[in-house]
Amino acid sequence: MKSPLGLVAMFVTLHVGRYLLTAGAAWAFLWGWKANPFTAARRIQTTGPSPGDVRREVLASLRTGVLFGVLFGLLSVGLPVVPLRASGVGAALEFGAWLLALLVVHDTYFYWSHRLAHHPAVFGWLHALHHRSRTPTPFAALAFGVADALLQVLWAVPLVRWVPVPSAVWVAFSFVAIGINVLGHCGVEPFPARWRRHPVFKWLNFATMHDLHHQQVHGNFGLYSSAWDRWMGTVLPLPEPVREPPAPAAARAAPGPSGT
């Protein structure tokens, strides 16, 4: 069993490392490659962040990663590694069921705690730092103040201590969570606009939705899905359409019915 210091070091490395890996990869692909046609066609806002914005997001997110690591390291002191109980196909089903349960619980907690963080009585000292990113980048994913970061992670404390979630599921969840979080802040919409009207895909929380949340503040509080926003009437109207790739030059130049 690892010492408390060893556990803290391991979890700090995990949380800081997953942030740098996912946010850095998204930044390199979606923002760093200026000639990237995927990014050019799907950029949500016409303006970009300033170097100061990016620096603030990175520093605040690194602090959050360290805070998460210290908290989870201390929470894990004395706890054993929890294995999957099943094997083979059963293990895959068990893993998937636990992962889905964590996503549903976190999505629900995030929506309501996020709405709370936007209450006028607490927004200024609790959540305003995150909203200094009016044109968010992937690095804004964990850009919280200390109190805000603690609110973000509070839901997991009783689960870590008293619910036998398999350890491998927690690791996978941590990467899924940061990946979706980074996607929501990436400033580029990877999904086609028609998905917003699809009976299944419309329940996703599109990057455009969270980007609009950063611009207008009131509404689009969800994280993984837009379910709670839809149920509670807090969906913000999205511009039509979400940026689609421009038509090929040949198609734009094709003659009309009159041949002109």
Average pLDDT of adjacent 10-residue blocks, the chain of 260 residues: 88 97 92 69 84 96 97 94 95 98 98 97 97 94 97 96 96 96 92 88 94 94 96 86 45 42
Calpha distance 110→106 (Å, rounded): 6
66 close to 16: Cβ distance less than 8 angstroms? yes
What distance, in Å, lies between the first and last C-alpha atoms of the chain?
78
Task: Of 20, 205, 199, give the one whose Cα is nearest residue 114.
Answer: 205
Q: What is the pTM of this model?
A: 0.87
Calpha distance 66→146 (Å, rounded): 11
Which residue has 């923002």 as its token pair? 31
What's the pLDDT at 34?
57
What's the pLDDT at 240?
57
Token digits for 129?
């730092």
What's the pLDDT at 31?
79
